[in-house]
């Protein structure tokens, strides 16, 4: 009775109102609840009263009063750890082993529907917006419940020497590790490839430690680098401002208008062919519209384009033949023509610069307004 290693020993702090685990049994949490209660009974050295090792002695046995007292204490602990609705169904069971067996038969059987739910939840579980620690915890909760429903080993030997239980446990841990790697976010693809290339394959705890370390390295700076846009992605307004600043301050001395000089004045030298057609860029009251299409608008509105010259087309074969015939006929007439003797050599000079036709090369740069 006074031996503290004996299952019949009761500590002064043991009382019938004690609740072994913080969460009571509700039915669906039987697996977690049973493991918690099993651990608490092992700590109090009373597991023999629920697993059937310590049977009820005869009434005339000297240990019967001690067994009855300890059994009643364990029964009280179990009732305090069960929800009131379930507790009412075992109220008339007085043996701790009978209560434990009845609860195991009712709630530990995993049907096909529950197995399907667990398997479906495992396959659809991924990291998402959670961190690595939260994702790992959620996966372990579901996986442990699913693994507990599986057989411990497939060995049918009377005295097992093939160590199948440890092999089965190693296989289940490897499957959980694979599922953990599958559900990680794509940002961990590099560390995932490194883990899969390791030989031998690391255990689940080592894989979790490597992924957690990678997550900490990614968040150690606390900011993401900002990539500056390239020159081709700069807004059109920058190019337009440069063009306006280039034309600003230039004044024509002939017509008195801005944005061009006298050497490019259309009023003095004549208008180029195709002027005023197409886009109404030089029309009076035309509104200049700019969009934020960075590349195309910049090319279309550039001052270096030659939009005033019409597109050149190659002459056809018939036109070439007609031109050759006309030139040959003119050469034949010129060969028989005798020019008269000149009587005076009057200079053929223009009387006014306004009568000079528009000659010379036109660069295509148009910056004249009006």
Among 88, 107, 126, the domain-final residue is: 107
Please indicate, yes or no, whether residues 173 and 122 belong to a single structural domain of this protein.
yes
Q: How far is CA 29 from the centre of its chain?
A: 35
What pLDDT score does 249 carry? 60
Please indicate, yes or no, whether residues 99 and 175 belong to a single structural domain of this protein.
no
Please indicate, yes or no, whether residues 148 and 176 belong to a single structural domain of this protein.
yes
Indicate the DSSP class of residue 233.
G
Write the pLDDT tens digit of every residue in 292-305. 334 344 444 444 44
Residue 80 lies in a domain: yes
Please indicate, yes or no, whether residues 116 and 100 belong to a single structural domain of this protein.
no
Please indicate, yes or no, whether residues 186 and 262 belong to a single structural domain of this protein.
no
Write the pLDDT tens digit of every residue in 215-244. 988 887 654 433 333 343 344 444 444 445
183: pLDDT strictly greater than 80 = yes
Average pLDDT, stretch 275-299?
Answer: 45
Please indicate, yes or no, whether residues 173 and 207 belong to a single structural domain of this protein.
yes
Helices 96-107 and 64-80, interaxial angle, to 10°?
40
**Per DSSP, what are the bridge partners of residue 25?**
82
Residue 128 lies in a domain: yes
Which stretch of DSSP H or E encloses residue 67? helix 64-80
Q: What residue numbers bound the domain in which 261 lies?
A: 250-284
d(CA 234, CA 362) in angstroms, rounded, equals 31
Q: Can you spell out the DSSP letters for 39-63?
A: HHHHHTT-GGGTSSSSPPPPTTSTT
Residue 300 lies in a domain: no
Q: Give the pTM.
A: 0.46
d(CA 370, CA 243) in angstroms, rounded, equals 18
d(CA 71, CA 48) in angstroms, rounded, equals 10
Backbone dihedral angles phi then psi of residue 258, each to the nearest 5 degrees: -95, 175
Q: How many domains does the chain have?
A: 3
53: pLDDT strictly greater than 60 = yes
What pLDDT score does 227 carry? 36
d(CA 109, CA 114) in angstroms, rounded, equals 10
Residue 178 lies in a domain: yes
What pLDDT score does 277 carry? 53
Residue 6 lies in a domain: no
Per the CB < 8 A criterion, the answer to whether 81 and 37 are in contact is yes
179: pLDDT strictly greater than 50 = yes
Please indicate, yes or no, whether residues 97 and 129 belong to a single structural domain of this protein.
no
Average pLDDT, stretch 93-114?
Answer: 83
Q: Residue 26 contacts by C-beta under 8 Å, 6 or more apart in sequence? A: 83, 86
Please indicate whether residue 192 or residue 364 has the higher confidence score (pLDDT): 192
Among 284, 299, 327, the domain-final residue is: 284
What pLDDT score does 177 carry? 92
Please indicate whether residue 149 or residue 72 has the higher confidence score (pLDDT): 72
Residue 269 lies in a domain: yes
Please indicate, yes or no, whether residues 212 and 133 belong to a single structural domain of this protein.
yes
Please indicate, yes or no, whether residues 84 and 119 belong to a single structural domain of this protein.
no
Please indicate, yes or no, whether residues 120 and 85 belong to a single structural domain of this protein.
no
Which of 224-228, 259-263, 283-287 shows the lowest mean pLDDT across its residues?
224-228
Please indicate whether residue 361 or residue 284 has the higher confidence score (pLDDT): 361
Indicate the DSSP class of residue 310.
P
Residue 329 lies in a domain: no
Please indicate, yes or no, whether residues 128 and 200 belong to a single structural domain of this protein.
yes
180: pLDDT strictly greater than 90 = yes
pLDDT over 90, % of the chain:
21
Please indicate, yes or no, whether residues 41 and 55 belong to a single structural domain of this protein.
yes
Handedness of CA 39, 44, 45, 48 (dihedral sign): negative
Among 241, 268, 284, the domain-final residue is: 284
User: Is 330 in a helix, a strand, or coil?
Assistant: helix
Write the pLDDT tens digit of every residue in 328-345. 888 877 776 555 555 544
Q: Tokens at residue 279, please?
A: 């886009």
């Amino acid at each position: 009775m006074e031996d503290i290693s004996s299952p019949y020993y009761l500590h002064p702090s043991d009382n019938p109102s004690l609740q072994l685990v913080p969460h009571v049994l509700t039915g669906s949490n039987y697996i977690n609840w049973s493991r918690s209660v099993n651990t608490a009974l092992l700590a109090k050295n009373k597991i023999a009263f629920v697993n059937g090792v310590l049977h009820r002695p005869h009434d005339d046995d000297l240990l019967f009063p001690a067994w009855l007292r300890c059994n009643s204490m364990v029964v009280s602990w179990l009732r305090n750890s069960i929800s009131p609705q379930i507790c009412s169904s075992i109220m008339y069971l007085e043996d701790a082993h009978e209560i434990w067996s009845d609860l195991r038969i009712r709630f530990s059987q995993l049907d096909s529907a529950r197995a399907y739910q667990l398997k479906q939840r495992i396959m659809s579980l991924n990291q998402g917006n959670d961190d690595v620690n939260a994702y790992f915890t959620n996966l372990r909760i579901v996986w442990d419940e699913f693994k507990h429903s599986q057989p411990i080993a497939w060995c049918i030997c009377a005295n097992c020497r093939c160590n199948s239980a440890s092999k089965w446990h190693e296989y289940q841990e490897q499957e959980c590790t694979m599922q953990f790697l599958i559900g990680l976010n794509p940002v961990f693809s590099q560390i995932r490839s490194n883990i899969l290339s390791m030989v031998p394959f690391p255990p689940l705890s080592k894989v979790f430690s490597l992924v957690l370390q990678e997550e900490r390295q990614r968040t150690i700076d606390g900011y993401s680098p900002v990539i500056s846009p390239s020159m081709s992605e700069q807004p059109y307004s920058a190019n337009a401002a440069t063009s306006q600043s280039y034309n600003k301050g230039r004044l024509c001395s002939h017509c008195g208008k801005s944005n061009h000089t006298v050497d490019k004045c259309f009023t003095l030298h004549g208008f180029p062919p195709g002027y005023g057609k197409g886009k109404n860029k030089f029309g009076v009251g035309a509104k200049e519209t700019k969009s934020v299409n960075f590349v195309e608008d910049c090319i279309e509105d550039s001052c270096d384009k030659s939009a005033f010259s019409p597109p050149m087309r190659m002459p056809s074969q018939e036109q070439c033949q007609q031109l050759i015939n006309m030139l040959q006929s003119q050469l034949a007439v010129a060969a028989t023509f005798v020019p008269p003797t000149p009587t005076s050599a009057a200079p053929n000079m223009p009387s006014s610069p306004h009568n000079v036709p528009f000659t010379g090369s036109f660069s295509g740069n148009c910056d004249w307004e009006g």
